[in-house]
Amino acid sequence: MTRWIKTPDPETTRNKPATKINMEMLAQDIKNYPDAHQYERVRAYQASGSQQARH
């Protein structure tokens, strides 16, 4: 709440990089399999719980 009082505008950038996904491997996977669905990528990376897409 105190941040909203000081700066009520929403932040447009994120200062924290993605920590659980290797972005280079993801970019290569997207290049190799451009038509893959998100749940297929999750299975390929064997991500757990909260990262999996819900069906």
Give the per-residue pLDDT at 34: 92
Give the whole-angstrom CA distance, residue 27 versus residue 22. Answer: 9
Using CA atoms, how far apart are residues 42 and 22, in angstroms rounded to an integer? 13
Return the pLDDT at 53. Answer: 47
pTM given for the model: 0.47
Bigger pLDDT: 20 vs 55: 20
Confidence band, pLDDT 50/70/90 cuts, at residue 1: low
Q: Cα 7–19–14 angle (5° rounding)?
A: 20
Q: Find the Cα–Cα–Cα–Cα dihedral 23, 33, 54, 42, rounded to 10°.
A: -50
Reported as a single tens digit per residue, the pLDDT across 9-54 is: 777 777 777 667 788 888 998 999 999 998 888 887 775 555 444 4
